[in-house]
Amino acid sequence: MRVIATADVGGTHARFALAAIDDCQVVDLGEPVTVKTGEFASFQHAWQEFGRRIEQPLPKELAIAFAGPVGGDVLKLTNNPWVIRPALMFERLGVERFVIVNDFAAIAHAVAGLDASAYRHVCGPERGLPDTGVITIVGPGTGLGVASLLKRAGGYEVIATEGGHVDFAPLDSLEDGILQHLRENFRRVSVERLVSGRGLLNIYEALGTMEKRQFTLRDEKDLWTAALSGSDTLASAALDRLCLTFGAAAGDFALAQGGHAVVLAGGLGLRLVDYLPKSGFRDRFIAKGRFERMMDEMPVKVITHPQPGLFGAAEAFASGHGVIEANA
């Protein structure tokens, strides 16, 4: 058995943990250490803080889930000013082997390695995830992540995407109005502008403007609290519209990828686990014209593992997906 470090670097937080690997799979994930990315100038400084907090030498092997495109000489986070230069990691971090995967690719690796106890059912038939075929991974957090997992006999493959940045497609007159409002602030409106932490505020302000109503909730945290509790009717209406858009987008991604099941993830995916089944998510998910019956036969689940990004990055390392070795 060997111990590696694993990291999940997002737009708001960076999480670190130690992971035990045995027989090409993760057998244990240690207690995570979480830092705010805005409080550190670079990943290197956050990595050093992790070492100080665990009060022991850092492992020489590292797996990173990275919230942005992976590939090239410089990796830039989509919603964070940090950059990572893979060629300098050996020298600056003192590691000998590492792997970097997109954050939602890491979720897909987690889905490949976790059992049925790691999920809660949302809609569709109440059966487990398929042993073979494509599983679509999608979920909102700081942004909207999308990936796909292809399971086959004897192994699996993960495809990372930037699907959250596809165009938002309004499906009724109210969404036409929301799109028109958002175009005043954004040259191009992607689905992530609505289905994300910030997306709820975008919808809330659009609805308030359209109804010529006063809207006083400007803080994202306060807005989400009010929306989920039902204490503000405009916030609740915005959340209902976010869930509708989330359902439509998740169905679109499953169609485009040839999905046999869908796993919802992301920080907000888990937060919405009790809300989604009573929202309009399912109706929009299956509303795909001639493919409605097929979509209704597709299980949709929320991953409930507390740290799927950390687990998935470690799983990617354990399974040998893209590990880079020093002096190779």
Does residue 5 have a pLDDT over 50? yes
Residue partners of 167: CB distance under 8 A and separation at least 6: 188, 189, 190, 191
Same-domain check for residues 277 and 319: no
Q: 139 lies in a domain?
A: no
225-260 pLDDT per residue, tens = 999 999 999 999 999 999 999 999 999 999 999 999
Same-domain check for residues 101 and 233: no
Same-domain check for residues 172 and 284: yes
Cβ count within 10 A of residue 176: 11
Q: 288 lies in a domain?
A: yes
* Total-model pTM: 0.91
Specify the pLDDT at position 37.
92
76-95 pLDDT per residue, tens = 887 778 889 999 999 999 99
**Mean pLDDT, the chain, whole residue set:** 93
In this structure, what token pair is assigned to residue 252?
């679109």
Q: 158 lies in a domain?
A: no
Same-domain check for residues 213 and 257: yes
Specify the pLDDT at position 328.
44
316-328 pLDDT per residue, tens = 999 887 676 665 4
| Spatial separation of the C-alpha atoms in residues 42 and 68, rounded to whole Å | 15
Cβ-based burial of 87 (10 A; exposed 0-12, middle 13-18, buried ≥19): exposed
Spatial contact of 50 and 79, defined as CB atoms under 8 Å apart: no
225 alpha-carbon distance from chain centroid: 20
Interval 37-47 mean pLDDT: 94
Number of domains in the chain: 2
Cβ-based burial of 138 (10 A; exposed 0-12, middle 13-18, buried ≥19): buried
Q: 144 lies in a domain?
A: no
Spatial contact of 19 and 6, defined as CB atoms under 8 Å apart: yes
162-219 pLDDT per residue, tens = 999 999 999 999 999 999 999 999 999 999 999 999 999 999 999 999 999 888 888 8
Interval 10-30 mean pLDDT: 92
Q: 274 lies in a domain?
A: yes
To the nearest 10°, report the CA torsion of 298, 302, 304, 305.
70
Tell me the Ramachandran region of residue 33: left when phi exceeds 0, alpha when psi lies from -120 to 50, beta otherwise.
beta
Q: 130 lies in a domain?
A: no
- Residues β-bridged to residue 147: 137, 160
| Spatial separation of the C-alpha atoms in residues 308 and 314, rounded to whole Å | 10
Give me the amino acid identity at 35: V
What's the CATH code of the domain at 101?
Answer: 3.30.420.40
- Structural domain of 10: 2-114+305-325
Specify the pLDDT at position 321.
74
126-175 pLDDT per residue, tens = 999 999 999 999 999 888 999 999 999 888 999 989 999 999 999 999 99
| Spatial separation of the C-alpha atoms in residues 16 and 5, rounded to whole Å | 7
Same-domain check for residues 310 and 288: no
What's the CATH code of the domain at 219?
Answer: 3.40.367.20
| Spatial separation of the C-alpha atoms in residues 63 and 170, rounded to whole Å | 38
